[in-house]
């Protein structure tokens, strides 16, 4: 992947880990080949791109390649094949809409490559068709100027989903959070495509150390190199808010059984994203995911944009909980199919029903 930037040299407003530099252009160029091996970022005006992304109301004349325009607001983001009229400059203050729009753009770059490859199952071809126009809205919520205090938050897993959640959280200027992050895994080369806070230099290092160090300028996270639930003496009581980014379903039940307060769970399955939040009095993640995956199921390959959506949805839920603006019960679960956000039902908000056979034996299941 090679990227050419044609952007003004705008100063950074505040630290944007894992990027470093005094200007946006400098930070992006210095990320060349450090985030993913072989992925270059440059400012070469002789570059001949195969696809183009245009930001806001920027004027652009390009007749020979596919071109999409990124627009949006604080909590809403959109992508559309290039239009030059009726588009607005980016003026939003909060960063969720811009992350939505960027993630929609990443889909199109991925699909552009996938359309050139032979597919084992022709039915999958629908996932990789070009989107003419798509958007997503997480719903606006008021954020006070002085920022958001999230208090103590424990993070279960330092993998792709939790790294995406923390990456998204750090785009907010005034967020305060301390807590712990649990994981015993090391950063591998194959993680780099989706681990938003990791670079080539981090291969072989503990994921919890990589994440805690990367977040240290904005968040206070203590790295715990243990796979949850591990040794309960080392872990102690979980925080009142917990983020869970593990795809292993019994591990989610275990967190739910130990959690004294609110938990958010995000996971990925093939090209889909599942995201939910659970207060102690609500149907829990065991009610939502009551059956474990079959033993011996093939490892599911994951890719950056799916994990990113899972993390972004989790961060929005965390901020809303801290701002006492949680989604209503009929939005307790979100299922997204990010590759085709142009189709109806690509994003579905759903309630969670309590189950008598809940594997976590939650309060809601016991009063049935
Ligand atoms: Zn339950």
Q: How many whole angstroms from 242 Cα to the centroid of ligand 1?
A: 16
Assigned token pair, 116? 């050139």
Q: What is the pLDDT of residue 270?
A: 78
Selection from 260, 243, 228, 259 nearest residue 321 by Cα: 243
**Positive or negative, the Cα torsion across 178, 182, 188, 191?**
negative
Q: Which of 104, 137, 170 is the last residue of a domain?
A: 137
Q: What is the pLDDT of residue 48?
A: 86
Q: How many whole angstroms from 140 Cα to the centroid of ligand 1?
A: 29
Q: How many whole angstroms from 284 Cα to the centroid of ligand 1?
A: 4
**What CA–CA distance (Å, rounded) separates 305 from 132?**
18
DSSP letters, 13-26, are SS--TT--SSBHHH
Q: Which of 137, 170, 185 is the last residue of a domain?
A: 137
Q: How many whole angstroms from 256 Cα to the centroid of ligand 1?
A: 9
Assigned token pair, 38? 């072989």
**ipTM score of complex:** 1.00
Q: Are residues 175 and 240 in the same domain?
A: yes
Q: Are residues 69 and 132 in the same domain?
A: yes
Q: Are residues 80 and 14 in the same domain?
A: yes
Q: How many whole angstroms from 157 Cα to the centroid of ligand 1?
A: 21
Q: Are residues 172 and 113 in the same domain?
A: no
Q: How many whole angstroms from 353 Cα to the centroid of ligand 1?
A: 9
Cβ atoms of 15 and 217 closer than 8 Å: yes
What CATH number does residue 360 fall under? 3.40.50.720
The answer to whether residue 276 sits within a structural domain is yes
Buried/exposed code over 5-30 (b: 16+ C-beta within 10 A; e: otherwise): eeeeeeeeeeebbbeeeeebbbbbbe
The answer to whether residue 142 sits within a structural domain is no
Cβ atoms of 23 and 10 closer than 8 Å: yes
Q: How many whole angstroms from 365 Cα to the centroid of ligand 1?
A: 5
Task: Give per-10-residue mean pLDDT for the chain (368 aa).
Answer: 91 90 93 90 86 91 85 95 78 94 95 92 91 96 93 97 97 94 94 93 97 96 90 82 93 94 92 95 97 69 84 98 97 96 96 97 94
Cβ atoms of 338 and 309 closer than 8 Å: yes
Q: 64: burial class by Cβ within 10 Å (0-12, 13-18, 19+)?
A: exposed
Strands (E), 91-244: 133-137, 148-156, 175-182, 220-224, 241-244
Q: How many whole angstroms from 250 Cα to the centroid of ligand 1?
A: 13
**Positive or negative, the Cα torsion across 15, 162, 79, 30?**
positive
Q: Are residues 318 and 213 in the same domain?
A: yes
Which residue segment(s) compose the domain that 312 sits in? Answer: 148-366
Q: What is the pLDDT of residue 14?
A: 87
Assigned token pair, 168? 């998204």
Q: Are residues 298 and 327 in the same domain?
A: yes
Q: How many whole angstroms from 352 Cα to the centroid of ligand 1?
A: 9
Total domains in the fold of the chain: 2
Q: What is the pLDDT of residue 358?
A: 97
Q: How many whole angstroms from 317 Cα to the centroid of ligand 1?
A: 19
Q: How many whole angstroms from 322 Cα to the centroid of ligand 1?
A: 23
Q: Are residues 95 and 231 in the same domain?
A: no
């Amino acid at each position: 992947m090679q990227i050419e930037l044609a952007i003004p040299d705008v100063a950074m407003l505040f630290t944007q880990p894992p990027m470093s530099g005094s200007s946006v252009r400098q930070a992006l160029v210095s990320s060349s080949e450090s985030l993913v091996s072989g992925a270059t970022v440059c400012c070469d005006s002789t570059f001949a791109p195969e696809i183009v992304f245009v930001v806001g109301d920027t004027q652009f004349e390009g007749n020979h390649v596919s071109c999409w325009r990124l627009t949006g607001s604080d909590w809403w983001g959109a992508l559309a094949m290039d239009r030059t009229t009726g588009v607005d400059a980016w003026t939003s203050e909060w960063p969720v809409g811009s992350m939505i729009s960027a993630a929609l753009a990443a889909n199109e770059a991925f699909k552009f490559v996938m359309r050139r490859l032979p597919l084992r199952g022709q039915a999958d071809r629908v996932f990789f068709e070009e989107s003419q126009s798509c958007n997503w809205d997480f719903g606006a919520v008021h954020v006070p100027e002085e920022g958001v205090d999230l208090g103590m938050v424990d993070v279960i897993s330092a993998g792709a989903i939790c790294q995406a959640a923390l990456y998204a959280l750090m785009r907010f200027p005034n967020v305060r959070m301390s807590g712990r992050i649990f994981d015993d895994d090391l950063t591998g080369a194959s993680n780099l495509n989706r681990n938003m806070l990791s670079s080539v230099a981090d291969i072989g290092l503990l994921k919890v150390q990589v994440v805690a160090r990367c977040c240290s300028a904005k968040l206070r996270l203590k790295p715990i190199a243990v796979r949850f639930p591990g040794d309960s003496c080392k872990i102690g009581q979980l925080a009142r808010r917990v983020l869970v980014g593990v795809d292993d379903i019994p591990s989610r039940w275990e967190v739910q059984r130990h959690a004294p307060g609110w938990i958010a769970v995000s996971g990925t399955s093939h090209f889909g994203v599942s995201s939910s939040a659970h207060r102690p009095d609500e149907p829990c993640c065991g009610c939502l995911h009551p059956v474990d995956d079959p033993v011996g199921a093939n490892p599911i390959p994951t890719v950056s944009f799916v994990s990113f959506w899972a993390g972004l949805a989790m961060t929005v839920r965390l901020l809303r909980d801290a701002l006492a603006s949680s989604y209503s019960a009929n939005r307790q679960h979100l299922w997204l199919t990010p590759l085709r956000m142009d189709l109806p039902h690509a994003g579905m908000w759903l309630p969670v029903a309590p189950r008598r056979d809940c594997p976590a034996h939650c309060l809601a299941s016991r009063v049935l």
